[in-house]
Amino acid sequence: MTPADGPASPPPGAPRVRITGVGHAVPSRILTNAELERTVETTDEWITERSGIRERRIAGPAESSSTLGTAAARAALASADVAAGDIDLIVVGTSTPDGVFPATASRIQDALGARRAGAFDVNAACAGFLAALSTGMQFVAGGGARRVLVIGAETMSRIVDWTDRNTCVLFGDGAGAVVLERGTASEPGALESFVMRSDGSLASLLYCGGPEAPAIAGSPGGPYIVMDGRNVFRQAVTAMSQAAAEAVALAGLRVADIALCVPHQANARIIDAVARNLGLPGERVFTNLDRFGNTSSASIPIALSEATAQGRLRPGDHLLMLAFGGGLAWGAMVVEWAGVRTGPGSVDAPVARAAEPLEVR
Ligand code: ACO
């Protein structure tokens, strides 16, 4: 089977799927490396050198994955100029849902007043947004939905052991969202390829809860994230490099054709190593983890929203997205950029502003 025949490139003549809106929302509370120096044995220098992270956002008591996700969704709907009532389906990538059930997607559906929409969550840890996005895109391409809202929303601060310096310096909270709509051959915007992979035999490298979860001394509550950072690092570089190369080939492209890569924002050194392996110059790789840390499923849509606002993508550009996380689960996707509205006037008032101020773009 040649790459073009692969199961993850849309068949010829399949309806085109366009990303027509993007938005994100983060809590206003900033937690700096300097503050962490006062709570665990670490230094700003160690965190910055080893991860590239300088600060992260932390949800307040009135915020949750659904409130952040709702605010991000409102911004994305405004950017697409689509009413909540016209959305057919809401798919939320999250590993920190508000509760076991109802789905965080259903809470967001209610908050938005998206009365016609179905709603469900998907969990692929830090690869959750690409899992949600590939699902939403299949619905549009297959004719099951005309307009889909895909959201990555996380409150990682709630599953971090704040006494564990191996993990607590890495994670942050936030949400990002995109609107998907059916397109035509005469306008830019299409899903070009995607690759989703998992190796559950390596679950013990990165997990939260479950039968293997140890009781963590001195930390009431939980479950908390447990991570073998060094091995996750190695796996992430290899897996994302391979998935990216595969997705680019499936799309019938070369790495030189990729205008912008928006990778999962876990660690600047992982991103640099993947870019080196692919031969992607640094100026074509978007990072914002210095300000947000690892927001898991939210990291790609937050970065995409910022990249769009900064004018880093033009209609017709080929965008490469990469993700890796617990599972292990990872993936890559190539999308032809449709072009979206951004900037002042395209953003609704955030829903949770009264209790906990949000920043929405
Ligand atoms: N401050 C100071 N020292 C620290 C800290 C800290 N915050 N954390 C660990 N150290 C120490 C370690 O104890 C170790 O000390 P030792 O040599 O005496 O044992 C030393 O620093 C080096 O530790 P390493 O783990 O080898 O450091 P490394 O260079 O690998 O960086 C890091 C650690 C940042 C965690 C890196 O391995 C990483 O980013 N891993 C991948 C994370 C990731 O991608 N996760 C996936 C997504 S998450 C999800 O799916 C939910």
The string of pLDDT tens digits covering residues 26-79 is: 999 999 999 999 999 999 999 999 999 999 999 999 999 999 999 999 999 999
* Domain 16-183 identical in fold to domain 190-336: yes
Q: Is 274 in the pocket of ligand 1 (CB under 6 A)?
A: no
Q: What's the pLDDT score for residue 209?
A: 86
User: Hey, which of 160-164, 281-285, 340-344 has the most confident mean pLDDT?
Assistant: 281-285
Domain boundaries, the chain: 16-183, 190-336
User: Ligand 1: distance of its center to the CA of 176 in Å?
Assistant: 26
Note if 126 is an active site residue.
yes
Which among 159, 230, 271, 297 is the best mutation to test ligand 1's pocket, defined by most ligand atoms within 8 Å of the CB?
230
Which of 133 and 356 is assigned the larger pLDDT?
Answer: 133
Using 50, 70 and 90 to split pLDDT, how confident is the model at 360? Answer: low
What's the pLDDT score for residue 112?
A: 98
Cα–Cα dist 243/196, whole Å:
8
| Angle (nearest 5°) at CA 22 between 281 and 86 | 150
- Burial state string for 179-205 with b = 16 or more CB within 10 A and e = fewer than 16: bbbbbeeeeebbbbbbbbbbeeebeeb
65-74, 186-195, 270-279 — which is least confidently predicted? 186-195
Q: Is 264 a catalytic residue?
A: yes
Catalytic annotation, pick one of 24, 33, 123, 126: 126
- Nearest CA to 280 out of 315, 236, 251, 244 is that of 244
pLDDT confidence bin for 14, thresholds 50/70/90 = low
Q: Distance of CA 225 to CAs 30, 141, 219, 232, Å?
A: 21, 36, 12, 13
Q: How far apart are CA 11 and CA 234, in angstroms?
A: 34
The contacts found for 277-281 with CB under 8 angstroms, 24 or more apart, are: 277/237, 277/241, 278/241, 278/244, 278/245, 279/255, 280/255
pLDDT tens per residue across span 232-265? 999 999 999 999 999 999 999 999 999 999 999 9
- Please check the confidence at residue 174 and state whether its pLDDT lies above 80: yes
Nearest to residue 79, comparing CAs of 133, 22, 148?
A: 22
Give tens-digit pLDDT for 98-128: 999 999 999 999 999 999 999 999 999 999 9
The pLDDT tens digits for 277-309 are: 999 999 999 999 999 999 999 999 999 999 999
Mean pLDDT of 271-275: 98
CA angle 114, 140, 102 (to 5 degrees): 40
Three-class SS of residue 324? Answer: strand
Ligand 1 atom closest to Cα of 125? 50
Q: What is the largest CA-CA distance in the chain?
A: 60
3-state secondary structure 113-179: CCCCCEEEEECECECHHHHHHHHHHHHHHHCCCCEEEEEEEEEHHHCCCCCCHHHHCCECEEEEEEE
Tell me which DSSP letter residue 310 carries. T
Which CATH code of 3.40.47.10, 2.30.40.10, 3.40.50.620, 3.40.50.410 fits the domain covering 190-336? 3.40.47.10
Q: Is the pTM of this model over 0.75?
A: yes
**Token pair listed for 72:** 């991000």
Q: How does the average pLDDT of the chain come out, rounded?
A: 91
For ligand 1, is residue 166 a contact (CB within 6 Å)? yes
Q: What is the DSSP letter of 37?
A: H
User: Which CATH number is associated with domain 16-183?
Assistant: 3.40.47.10
Ligand 1 atom with minimal separation from the 326 CA: 50
Distance CA 20, CA 81 (A): 9
Residue 289 Cα to ligand 1 middle (Å): 16
* Ligand 1 atom with minimal separation from the 156 CA: 51
Q: Is any atom of ligand 1 closer than 6 Å to the C-beta of 169? A: yes
